[in-house]
């Protein structure tokens, strides 16, 4: 068991000044150092630099690892040219980023303050690096495929990957399910995936209305997706609508990713169904998609993958969101963004972490400011504006 005193402690509701926590695998107590030393005599102290900020580890709820060697290979600015470039470069990028590459990517995320990641796996190539990572991983095995003739084969491939991930389940590695999107997954597969999620009590994630092309295809079987589906799958008509898709997942709490082209009614349906929207602002900007309207929305902020971002440092993403949503009050938005990557993310994923609170798992990071006093009312903002060093990381109370 350890005691750690910090200049600032970020709890969900307030900032504690010159206070301490006692923790092992879980947080045992929070208070003033002298009082805690009386309750816990002979406890081992961890000494921090003056000005240190103690806060929950970040939860990056939506990341793709499989194209992490991308830098200049893919086309940005519009969704469909990007998608075609992904198809063209898929084999090349997969070969360039093997297990060692993915391991290094996970390590970099850990060093930058992320302690839990929601990894979306299309093919299972990232299974071993994720299962062996020091980071906690929610491993979303993805169902994909809209060709009716291939439904059985695609389902078997998904089940095989899911079973492999379940064999590696541990305290830090949790198998889960992802449905790629309404346009890319046949309704038969959607229903089968939802059934598995319910039966096995798994987490569910899905992309939803990321682009105008998807909106046009689902609404009217029209738009930029028409030649795509005709050429690749010989399909002339969408198999479902956005409304039908939401109906199919309505009884399963899900992470609904992007949703920048969702209507107000659809966002209300998502909220009423207990789903949570995941916002990836840099990815949306690079692919020419609409900015999510975060008004009255309990969203999460995540990075997406390096196929549509330049950094998996979640602090970088939060800072980008701070500027992208320029009409919001700066200080309130800064706190809301940090909540979206800590306490709200934990709630959406049904995790007992994401807060500095007694009884919660000790997934903790310490930021070293290397400076004097920061006004408490500016602390959330300064965390996003400054690139503070992550000096300590603890997962389940163990120093990483």
Q: Is there a single domain that holds both residue 367 and residue 343?
A: no
Confidence of residue 119 (pLDDT cuts 50, 70, 90): very high
Give residue for tokens 């899911």. Answer: 162
Please check whether residues 160 and 222 belong to one and the same domain: yes
Q: What is the pLDDT of residue 373?
A: 84
According to the model, what pLDDT value does residue 352 have? 98
What's the CATH code of the domain at 360?
Answer: 2.30.40.10
Judgement on whether residues 321 and 373 belong to the same structural domain of the protein:
no
Distance, in Å, from the CA atom of 365 to the CA atom of 378, rounded to the nearest integer, reads: 19
6 and 135: one domain? no
The domain containing residue 97 runs over which residues?
58-348
Residues 251 and 395 grouped into a single domain: no
Q: How confident is the model at residue 379 (pLDDT cuts 50, 70, 90)?
A: very high
Q: What is the mean pLDDT of the chain?
A: 96
95 and 48 within one domain: no
In the residue annotation, 210 being an active-site residue is answered as yes
Average pLDDT over residues 268-296: 97
- The answer on 240 and 223 residing in a single domain is yes
Mean pLDDT of 286-293: 97
Question: What is the C-alpha separation between 137 and 119, in angstroms, rounded?
Answer: 7
Regarding whether 368 and 338 lie in a shared domain, the answer is: no
Number of domains in the chain: 2
Residue 193 has pLDDT above 80, yes or no: yes
- For residue 313, what are the contacts with CB-CB under 8 A and spacing of at least 6? 108, 109, 112, 113, 114, 303
Domain end point (choices 307, 327, 348): 348
Q: Are 172 and 220 in a shared domain?
A: yes
Q: How far apart are CA 234 and CA 229, in angstroms?
A: 6
Taking only the tens place, the pLDDT of each residue in 231-260 is 999 999 999 999 999 999 999 999 999 999
| Average pLDDT of span 301-305 | 98
- Residue 241's CATH number: 3.20.20.140
Band (pLDDT 50/70/90 cuts) for residue 367 is very high
pLDDT of residue 372 exceeding 80, the answer is no
Q: Does 265 lie in the same domain as 308?
A: yes
Same domain, 41 and 65: no
pLDDT bin (cut points 50, 70, 90) of residue 149 is confident
Q: Which of 348, 368, 385 is the last residue of a domain?
A: 348
Given the residues 69, 142, 210, 361, select the one marked as catalytic. 210
Q: Are residues 52 and 95 in the same domain?
A: no
């Amino acid at each position: 068991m350890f005691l750690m005193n910090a200049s600032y402690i970020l709890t969900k509701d307030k900032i504690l000044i010159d206070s301490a926590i006692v923790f092992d695998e879980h947080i045992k107590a929070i208070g003033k150092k002298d009082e805690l030393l009386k309750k816990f005599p002979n406890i081992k102290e961890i000494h921090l630099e003056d000005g240190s900020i103690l806060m929950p580890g970040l939860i990056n709820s939506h990341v793709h690892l499989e194209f992490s060697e991308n830098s200049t290979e893919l086309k940005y600015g519009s969704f469909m040219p990007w998608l075609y470039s992904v198809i063209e470069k898929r084999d090349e990028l997969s070969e360039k980023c093997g297990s060692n590459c993915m391991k290094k990517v996970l390590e970099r995320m850990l060093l930058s303050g992320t302690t839990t990641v929601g990894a979306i796996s299309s093919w299972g190539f990232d299974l071993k690096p994720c299962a062996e990572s020091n980071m906690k991983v929610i491993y979303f095995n993805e169902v994909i495929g809209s060709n009716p003739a291939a439904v059985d084969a695609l389902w078997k491939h998904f089940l095989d990957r899911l079973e492999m991930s379940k064999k590696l389940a541990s305290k830090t590695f949790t198998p889960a399910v992802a449905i790629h999107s309404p346009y890319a997954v046949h309704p038969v597969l959607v229903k089968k995936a939802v059934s598995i999620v319910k039966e096995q009590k798994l987490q569910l994630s899905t992309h939803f209305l990321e682009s105008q092309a998807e909106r046009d295809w689902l609404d009217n079987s029209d738009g930029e997706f028409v030649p795509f589906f005709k050429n690749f799958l010989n399909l002339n008509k969408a198999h479902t609508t956005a409304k039908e898709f939401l109906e199919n997942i309505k009884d399963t709490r899900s992470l609904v990713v992007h949703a920048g082209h969702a209507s107000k009614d659809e966002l209300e349906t998502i909220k009423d169904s207990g789903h949570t929207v995941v916002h990836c602002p840099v990815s949306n900007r690079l692919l020419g998609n609409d900015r999510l309207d975060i008004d009255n929305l309990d969203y999460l902020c995540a990075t997406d993958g390096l196929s549509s971002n330049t950094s998996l440092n979640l602090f970088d993403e939060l800072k980008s969101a701070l500027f992208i949503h320029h009409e919001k009050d700066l200080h309130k938005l800064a706190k809301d963004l940090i909540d979206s990557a800590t306490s709200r993310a934990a709630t959406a994923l049904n995790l007992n972490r994401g807060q500095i609170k007694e009884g919660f798992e000790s997934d903790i990071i310490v930021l070293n400011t290397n400076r004097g006093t920061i006004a408490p009312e500016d602390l959330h903002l300064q965390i996003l504006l400054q690139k503070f060093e992550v000096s300590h990381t603890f997962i389940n109370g163990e120093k990483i």
